[in-house]
Amino acid sequence: MNDALILRYLEGTATAEDVASLNELLKKDADARGLLRTAAFQALTVADLRRAQVPRRDETARWNKWPLAAAAAVLLVVAAGVIWLTRPKPELLTVVHSTGAVTWNGSTLTVEGANSAAELRLIDGSTLTLAGDSEAAFGGKRGTEISLRRGSITVEAAPQPRTQPMVLRTPTAEAEVVGTCFTISAQTGQTMVTVGSGKVRLRRLVDGASADVAEGRMAVASLDATAPLESRAFPPLVSNWSQTFDAAPPAIWQGQWVAPDAAGPGRLKNVLDVSYRRKDGTVVPAYVVSARDPSGITTIRPDSIIRVKWRLRTPSVGGLLLISVLHPDGRFAGNFQINLKAEGEGWTVFSAPVSSLAGAYPEGARLPTLGRVTLVFVACYSPKGELEVAEVRFE
Amino acid sequence: MSLSQEIVVRTLLAARTKISASAWLVTRDVQAAEDIFQNLSVKALAGATPFELEAQLVSWAHITARHEALNWIRSRKGRVVCLDDVVLSLVAEEWEETPEGPRLKALRGCLDGLPRDSRQILDLRYSEERPCDEIAKTLGLGLDAVYQRLSRLHRALKQCTEQRLAT
């Protein structure tokens, strides 16, 4: 009787009289208050789980809208947002969403281009996001023997059987998933693991040394067996961050460095990158300047200001600014983008709150309250553009 | 000394479902509850109200969630038919103070172990937010049977969660 009253209240069908009775009951009865709390906690958890598993109705089309042709040209055609991959077993893997140049050859998923991405779901409910230039092969009965050949992958792992946990291998290391949410990135000669929640056991292939990497920590395994393999806390990220190019930027930036000269301050000129692939496999290029750091470039809040100083040789071609953001616990939050308009041939400064960037992938994605930026990407899609970037700043 | 932004975020995330529940018990709308949690997190981070203790922050978050939820319901539905603030305060005060992570994990395990039809009824009610009379029609049950099943499920899940937490 009381339970039904509580359930009707939660449903919104209780009358004013019902609510008055319920108020009286709850004031006196701690068990009834307990049931109300329990039902609320369970209800929100059920809703959360479902949202994590199923794309929302308004998120079915997850392609970048710009350029529009991309939607039609990617090899994996998304019908209603979901493609069932047919090999090695039909139901093992699902590409839930993808954007940009994403190809699947039956066992290997390849993501080309800095702003391309794909979200996969394994049969056990684990979710994997490959972002940027990445390639991973999937094997084993549950698709949980994963070889990351290059790039980075963020894993939200479902609970794993103790006898057969998910294992990710890179050319230099092997990570056994003990817990839930982490990012692994394979760079030349080294593998970096950052763990948002749970625990990962990282094994260095060169000598078999291993380390447990716990929540909020990271570790790097390289080919140097004399280096200690140990986990350490994430380096603290600042919320004010800027990069100018009077000196050459870190190698992780994508772009050709130009020292300061009469034509302008130190800057990066665009380099060719893959935007997407046509059905015949040919590449449609993008002209790109970008920076990526899987452990994070800076932290942002929705009201953080992003400032980009840039120019185009042919202003009419326009540009695109995109950032890729993780939640504080390492889950992928989304790619957020905005079209840039050049003000003539000179330098243009774009400055706006990051909340003005639209959730492009997944479409309608919302910026987290606190996020970790892992990619800043500025591009144009015409060779006439000759894009240059002189400064990127978050504050 | 006031809490750092990192601690504010960590504290709010560790009580996210409970704080959202404070809003949901007023709005009974999952999306609205989530929006309210996000908004109050932004407010907390903006630092207009400095917090020296985590408990202070959590208490403020529950109160703010309820107020924001009332504003939401007034703006959407005009007439407010919801529990007294005194009752909602009592409900909020009695949440256990420990981080909710282990409880969530245990609950998820229990949900995974539910029979398919039980999980379906929970999904219909709370993920799809369908009213019970519609669920009754969908499943070919009487309305009272739907309430009974939901009631049993909530109690069984609570028991299962407590057992998992105890082991």
pLDDT in tens, A322-334: 999 988 767 788 8
- Provide the CATH number for the domain formed by A241-394 in this structure: 2.60.120
ipTM (interface pTM):
0.95
**Residue keyed to tokens 């609950």:** B107
Note the pTM of the prediction, 2 decimals: 0.51
- What is the total count of domains within chain B? 2
Could you tell me if B84 and B116 lie in one domain? Answer: no
Interface check for B135 against chain A (CB to CB < 8 A): the answer is no
The 10 Å Cβ neighbour count of residue B138 is 14
Could you tell me if B40 and B108 lie in one domain? Answer: no
Interface test with A, best of B84, B154, B165 (most A CBs within 10 A): B154
Interchain CB distance below 8 Å, A30 and B94: yes
Interface test with B, best of A36, A234, A298 (most B CBs within 10 A): A36
Q: Which residues pair with A176 in a beta bridge?
A: A167, A201
Residue B106: which CATH number? 1.10.10.10
Could you tell me if B17 and B89 lie in one domain? Answer: yes
Q: Which residue of A has its CA nearest to B159?
A: A38
Could you tell me if B87 and B10 lie in one domain? Answer: yes
Q: How confident is the model at residue A238 (pLDDT cuts 50, 70, 90)?
A: low
Q: How confident is the model at residue A312 (pLDDT cuts 50, 70, 90)?
A: very high
> What is the extent of the structural domain holding B136?
101-166
Q: How confident is the model at residue B159 (pLDDT cuts 50, 70, 90)?
A: very high
The 10 Å Cβ neighbour count of residue B152 is 12
Considering B75, B93, B111, which residue would you say is the last residue of a domain? B93
Q: How does pLDDT run across A75-132, given as a tens digit for each residue?
A: 233 222 223 332 334 456 788 778 888 887 777 888 888 778 888 888 888 888 888 7
Residues of B in contact with A50 (CB under 8 A): 123, 127
For the record, the structure tokens of A83 come out as 């493609």
Could you tell me if B88 and B106 lie in one domain? Answer: no
Domain range annotation of chain A: 2-53, 58-233, 241-394
Task: Please compute the mean of the pLDDT values over residues A192-208 and round it to a whole number.
Answer: 83
**CA distances in angstroms from A221 to A135, A203, A210, A232, listed in the order given:** 19, 8, 9, 12
Report pLDDT for B80.
67
**Percentage of chain B exceeding pLDDT 90:** 39
Task: Please compute the mean of the pLDDT values over residues A155-179 and round it to a whole number.
Answer: 82
Could you tell me if B12 and B81 lie in one domain? Answer: yes
Q: Is the pLDDT of residue A70 over 50?
A: no
Total count of residues recorded for chain A: 395
Chain B: give the shortest CA distance to residue A379, in Å.
31
Same fold, A58-233 and A241-394: yes
DSSP letter string, B9-25: HHHHHHTHHHHHHHHHH
Q: Is the pLDDT of residue A251 over 80?
A: no
Residues of B in contact with A328 (CB under 8 A): 9-10, 13
Considering B93, B117, B140, which residue would you say is the last residue of a domain? B93
For the record, the structure tokens of A391 come out as 């400064």
Considering B60, B75, B93, which residue would you say is the last residue of a domain? B93
Q: How does pLDDT run across B6-33, given as a tens digit for each residue?
A: 788 888 888 999 999 999 999 999 888 9
Task: Please compute the mean of the pLDDT values over residues A345-357 and round it to a whole number.
Answer: 92
Q: How confident is the model at residue B1 (pLDDT cuts 50, 70, 90)?
A: low
Task: Please compute the mean of the pLDDT values over residues A50-54 and round it to a whole number.
Answer: 60
Report pLDDT for A281.
65
Could you tell me if B130 and B158 lie in one domain? Answer: yes
Residues of A in contact with B18 (CB under 8 A): 41
- Provide the CATH number for the domain formed by A58-233 in this structure: 2.60.120.1440
**Position A108, amino acid:** T
Interchain CB distance below 8 Å, B103 and A41: yes
**Percentage of chain A exceeding pLDDT 70:** 85
Closest CA to A116 of A354, A329, A324: A324
Q: What is the mean pLDDT of chain A?
A: 80
Could you tell me if B78 and B124 lie in one domain? Answer: no
Interface check for B84 against chain A (CB to CB < 8 A): the answer is yes
